[in-house]
Amino acid sequence: MTNERSLENLKLPKEKKEGYGYRYSIPQEKIDELFACLAEGMSLKKASKQVKISFMTARKYFRQGDEKRGIKPLQYRLTIFQDKISQKFNILLEERRMELLSTIRMAIKHMHKEIESGNLLNKPNLNSLDKLIRLEIFLLGGVMQKEHEKKMMSAEEISDGDNQEG
């Protein structure tokens, strides 16, 4: 009877298990599937269950990757992925901002013409014009009005102020 853990048995080449990669590493497809789950906003724990790998293995690939196989940490890949999404989103926001700005400018021109023509029946509301101008300035990135912080002074602050004046 041969012991399963004898030195001779340990020296034998390992059989490749189905569903595993080189030397029992998880295959690249599973890592990519894990990344896809994480990119969709799934937690690491849920993603590891979905991909059917242990949480500890998922955490290893999330934090460290696999240098031997050239796999970057998923944390790093997610950061790059999210940066690219943010850049694309910013471009779309900028395009939308420019569309809104041109619409507001047309409305302001229309109201300005109404005021110049002196048409009292269709006289634009000056309050609306003011709001449109403020909105235009805001869309251009200008400062609307700085709000002052309303702060109650403590008794110590009041007495310190009195002492400095006298």
pLDDT of 146-165, one tens digit each?
A: 555 566 667 677 666 655 55
pLDDT in tens, 35-56: 999 999 899 999 999 999 999 9
The mean pLDDT value of the chain amounts to 79
pLDDT tier for residue 22 given thresholds of 50, 70 and 90 = low
Backbone angles phi, psi at 66, to 5 degrees: -145, 95
- Note the pLDDT of residue 68: 83
Q: Flag whether pLDDT at 90 surpasses 60.
A: yes
Distance CA 129, CA 116 (A): 14
**10 Å Cβ neighbour count for 101?**
15
Give whole-number Cα distances, 163 to 84, 105, 158, 159, 160, in Å.
57, 54, 9, 6, 5
Residue 68's nearest CA partner among 30, 21, 17 is: 21
Per-residue CA distances from 145 to 24, 64, 92, 142, 149 (Å): 63, 48, 27, 9, 12
Tell the residue number behind the tokens 């003011």, with chain if given: 130
Tokens of residue 59, six digits = 């955490």
State both tokens at 56.
């500890």
15-72 placed in CATH 1.10.10: yes
Secondary-structure breakdown of the chain: helix, strand, coil percentages, each rounded to the nearest 5: 65, 0, 35
CB atoms within 10 A of CB 112: 12
- Its pTM stands at 0.49
